[in-house]
C-alpha cells in the first residue's frame, strides 16, 4: 500500500530559463537583476570564506554553495520587523537580512562578538546544535500572537533536523496555537554523511506537515523565483493569523558538510556533478537572458565592487582584537553570577601563572 501523499514541486523557471506554464513574474527588471547580484555576492563570499579557513584565518566553516537561491529567495521577502532564526549554514540568508560580513567572520573565528547584529536587525544567533532554533522561533512567534503583533518568525534547518524532537515539538505547538512562523527546510539531501534516504522513510519533508495540520510545500530550492513565491505566500498566511507553514526547498550539498569533512568518502561524485549542472546562478542567468535583460547586468563592474566590499570586511575583521578566554564569562548573563566570577578568576590566575 502506498502511504505517500503527492506533493508536486513548485517551479517558476525551467532548466532552459523559460517560465513554467501558468507562472508569472511580478518583479521589474532592476529587482530581477538585484536578485542575481545578491546570489553572485553570496557565491563569491562563500568561496572567499572557504579559502580563509584553509589559510587558518578562521575556524571550521560550513559552505553553502548551491543553496544561494534557497537563502536569497526566502530571506529577501521578510519585513524588517520580522525575526530570522538561522542554522549554521545560513551565512547567506543572514547577510540578506542585515547581518554584517565582519561580525559573520568574527563568528567563524570564535570571537564573542560574532553573534551580534546592528540595532533593529532581528536575527537570532546561528544554531549549530541541531535544531534548537526551531522551538525558539515558535516561542517568539507565539509571543507575537499573544501581543497582537503582525511580525512573523522564519526559521531555517536542514533535512537531518527533521529527525530530531525539537522539529516535531516545534511544529506541533506552532500548529496548535497558530503561531505565525514559517518552517523552512533546506533539504540538501545530506545529514553530514547520512543520506536523506537513511534518515527518514518519507519521500518528502513537506508531507510531514500533514501530521501537524498545517500547509506543506515542496519547492525547487535552486529556483530563486519559486522560493520567493512560496515563502511570500507562507509569510502572508502566517501574518494573517492562519498559522504556520512547512516549506521544503529541495537542493543538494555540492560542497563538504564543513571544512573538517571529506565527502568523497561517502558521496557518489557522479551525482554531485549532475547537481552542479543545476546551479541556481546559471539557471537564473538563462532566465535573465530569455527575458532580454541580462545585458543590463555589468558583470565585470559588479565583480569588482563585490570583491572590494568583501576585501574591506576581511581587513576590518582581521584588525579586530582577538577574544580573551576570561572575556567569555561576561557574555552569559546580564550580570555575572558568583560561579562565573569564580571561574573567570581561575582562568585569569592560570593565564598569569602560565605566562611567567
For the residues of 253-285, what is the DSSP string, one character each?
Answer: --S-SSTT--GGGTS-HHHHHHHHTT-HHHHHH
> pLDDT digits over 188-243, tens only?
999 999 999 999 999 999 999 999 999 999 999 999 999 999 999 999 999 999 99
The whole-number pLDDT of residue 355 equals 62
User: Is 1 a domain residue?
Assistant: no
Domain shared by 348 and 245, yes or no: no
Same domain, 212 and 330: no
Q: Does residue 332 sit within a domain?
A: yes
Question: Per mean pLDDT, which range of 223-237, 309-323, 326-340 is the poorest?
Answer: 326-340
Whole-number Å distance between alpha carbons of 245 and 181: 7
Domain of 165, in residue numbers: 9-322
Q: 5: pLDDT confidence band, cut at 50, 70 and 90?
A: confident
C-alpha 165/C-alpha 172 separation (Å) is 11
Cβ–Cβ under 8 Å, residues 50 and 63: yes
Exactly one of 51, 54, 266, 331 is catalytic; which is it?
A: 266
206 to 90, 95, 131: CA distances (angstroms): 20, 26, 17
Catalytic annotation present for 253: yes
* Assigned domain for 146 exists: yes
302 contacts 323 by C-beta, under 8 angstroms: no
Q: Catalytic residue among 212, 257, 283, 284, which? A: 257
Q: What is the pLDDT of residue 1?
A: 53
Per-residue model confidence (pLDDT) at position 331: 85
Same domain, 68 and 128: yes
- Rounded average pLDDT over 33-52: 98
Q: DSSP state, 207?
A: G
From the DSSP assignment, how many helices (H) and strands (E) are in the chain?
Answer: 12, 8
- Asked if the structure places residue 2 within a domain, the reply is no
* 25 belongs to a structural domain: yes
State whether 245 and 338 are in the same domain.
no
Q: Within this chain, do residues 140 and 66 fall inside the same structural domain, yes or no?
A: yes
Q: How far is CA 141 from CA 115, 199, 234, 261, in A?
A: 21, 28, 14, 35
Sheet strands (E) in the chain: 9-10, 83-85, 153-158, 181-187, 190-191, 194-195, 216-220, 245-250
Q: 46-101: per-residue pLDDT in tens?
A: 999 999 999 999 999 999 999 999 999 999 999 999 999 999 999 999 999 999 99
Of 65, 89, 253, 283, the catalytic one is 253
- Neighbouring C-beta atoms of residue 258, cutoff 10 Å: 15
Residue 209 in domain:
yes
- Per the prediction, the chain carries an average pLDDT of 96
Please give the radius of gyration of the chain, using alpha carbons only, rounded to the nearest integer. 21
**Given a cut of 90, is residue 351 above it in pLDDT?**
no
Same domain, 58 and 183: yes
Instruction: Based on the residue annotation, tell me whether 252 is a catalytic residue of this protein.
Output: no
Confidence of residue 6 (pLDDT cuts 50, 70, 90): confident
The predicted structure's pLDDT at residue 302: 98
Q: What's the pLDDT tens digit per position in 100-152?
A: 999 999 999 999 999 999 999 999 999 889 999 999 999 999 999 999 999 99
Residue 173 has what pLDDT? 98
> Averaged over 20-44, what is the pLDDT?
97
Predicted pLDDT of residue 3: 63
Whether the per-residue pLDDT at 38 is higher than 80: the answer is yes
| Selection from 96, 89, 100, 38 nearest residue 67 by Cα | 89
The angle at the Cα of 204, spanning 203 to 210, to the nearest 5 degrees, equals 115
Mind listing the pLDDT tens digit for each residue in 262-283?
999 999 999 999 999 999 999 9
Task: Give the CATH number for residue 232.
Answer: 3.40.50.970
Q: Does the annotation count 257 as an active-site position?
A: yes
Is 3 a domain residue? no
pLDDT at 256: 97
Q: How many domains does the chain have?
A: 2
Which pLDDT value is given to residue 37? 98
Closest to 156 measured CA to CA, from 115, 177, 126 = 126
pLDDT at residue number 2: 62
Q: Note whether residue 179 is domain-resident.
A: yes
- Joined grid coordinates for residue 270: 557522479
Q: Kind of pairing, strands 181-187 and 153-158?
A: parallel
Clarify whether residues 20 and 103 are in a common domain. yes
Considering the domain architecture, whether residues 274 and 161 belong to the same structural domain is answered as yes
Within this chain, do residues 244 and 342 fall inside the same structural domain, yes or no?
A: no
Same domain for 349 and 295, yes or no, is no
Same domain assignment for residues 114 and 83 = yes
Q: Which residues of 317-344 are buried (b: 16+ CB within 10 A; e: fewer)?
A: beeeeebeebeebeeeeeeeeeebeebb
Q: How would residue 184 be classed by pLDDT, with cut points 50, 70 and 90?
A: very high
Q: How confident is the model at residue 353 (pLDDT cuts 50, 70, 90)?
A: confident
273 and 299 part of one domain:
yes
Amino acid at each position: 500500500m502506498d502511504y505517500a501523499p503527492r506533493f508536486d514541486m513548485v517551479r517558476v523557471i525551467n532548466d532552459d530559463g523559460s517560465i513554467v506554464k501558468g507562472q508569472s513574474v511580478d518583479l521589474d527588471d532592476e529587482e530581477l537583476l538585484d536578485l542575481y547580484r545578491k546570489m553572485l555576492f553570496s557565491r563569491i563570499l562563500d568561496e572567499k570564506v572557504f579559502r580563509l579557513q584553509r589559510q587558518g584565518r578562521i575556524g571550521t566553516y560550513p559552505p553553502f554553495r548551491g543553496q544561494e537561491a534557497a537563502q536569497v529567495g526566502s530571506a529577501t521577502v521578510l519585513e524588517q520587523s520580522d525575526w530570522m532564526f538561522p542554522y549554521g549554514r545560513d551565512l547567506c540568508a543572514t547577510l540578506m537580512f542585515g547581518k554584517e560580513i565582519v561580525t559573520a567572520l568574527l563568528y567563524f573565528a570564535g570571537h564573542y562578538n560574532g553573534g551580534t547584529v546592528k540595532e533593529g536587525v532581528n536575527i537570532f544567533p546561528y544554531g549549530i546544535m541541531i535544531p534548537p532554533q526551531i522551538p525558539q522561533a515558535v516561542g517568539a512567534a507565539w509571543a507575537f500572537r499573544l501581543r497582537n503583533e503582525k511580525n512573523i518568525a522564519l526559521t531555517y534547518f536542514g533535512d537531518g533536523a527533521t529527525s530530531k524532537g525539537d522539529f516535531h515539538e516545534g511544529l506541533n505547538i506552532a500548529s496548535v496555537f497558530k503561531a505565525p512562523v514559517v518552517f523552512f527546510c533546506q533539504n540538501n539531501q545530506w545529514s553530514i554523511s547520512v543520506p536523506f534516504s537513511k534518515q527518514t522513510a518519507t519521500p518528502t519533508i513537506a508531507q510531514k506537515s500533514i501530521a501537524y495540520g498545517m500547509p506543506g510545500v515542496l519547492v525547487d530550492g535552486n529556483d530563486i523565483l519559486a522560493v520567493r513565491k512560496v515563502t511570500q505566500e507562507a509569510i502572508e498566511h502566517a501574518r494573517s493569523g492562519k498559522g504556520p507553514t512547512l516549506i521544503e526547498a529541495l537542493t543538494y550539498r555540492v560542497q563538504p558538510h564543513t571544512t573538517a569533512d571529506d565527502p568523497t568518502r561517502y558521496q557518489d561524485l557522479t551525482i554531485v556533478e549532475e547537481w552542479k549542472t543545476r546551479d541556481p546562478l546559471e539557471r537564473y542567468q538563462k532566465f535573465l537572458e530569455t527575458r532580454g535583460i541580462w545585458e543590463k547586468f555589468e558583470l565585470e563592474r559588479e565583480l569588482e565592487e563585490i570583491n572590494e566590499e568583501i576585501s574591506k570586511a576581511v581587513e576590518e575583521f582581521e584588525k579586530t582584537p582577538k577574544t580573551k578566554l576570561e572575556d567569555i564569562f561576561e557574555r552569559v548573563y546580564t550580570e555575572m553570577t558568583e560561579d562565573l566570577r569564580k571561574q573567570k578568576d581561575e582562568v585569569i590566575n592560570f593565564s598569569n601563572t602560565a605566562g611567567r
